[in-house]
Amino acid sequence: MIEILNRQKKFRIDLDRFEHLLKRLVRRYELNRPEIVLAFVDDPEIRELNRKFRKKDKPTDVLSFPLNERGADGKFYLGDIIISVTTASARAAGLGHGLERELEYLAVHGFIHLLGFGHGRGHEAEEEKIRQALFP
């Protein structure tokens, strides 16, 4: 199951768009009904998560928490993706594209991390392949 949460109030987000995006990624990687959570938050919330889990006391654009394990309930838990819409909005303005596109890029970035790709270990190449396939 894919669960999309909007925990911020400042920006309107088409949650169906992101459910569709994650479903496309699940099909692309032939994952069998994984449990995924995608949460949209604001800077204070992601800053707290970044401080707690990465020991970095500052906001960031996206965090991924891969699980990659089967629970006692038999479900496969891929993991969670947390995106700061506040940071994404500032970044989108600086890059000259819309907020929704930036959020899509960050969702893909986080998803690739859930699959086990790390920076410098194939992440960038894999992300670029997906971007070209999904956002021509």
pLDDT per residue over 12-39, tens digit each? 999 999 999 999 999 999 998 999 999 9
Range 41-46 average pLDDT: 97
Complete DSSP assignment for 110-135: HHHHHTT--TTTTHHHHHHHHHHHH-
In eight-state DSSP terms, residue 74 is S
pLDDT in tens, 95-106: 888 999 999 999
Taking residues 113-135, report their average pLDDT.
83
Domains of the chain in start order, with CATH, are 2-134 (3.40.390.30)
Q: Are 40 and 13 in contact (CB under 8 A)?
A: yes
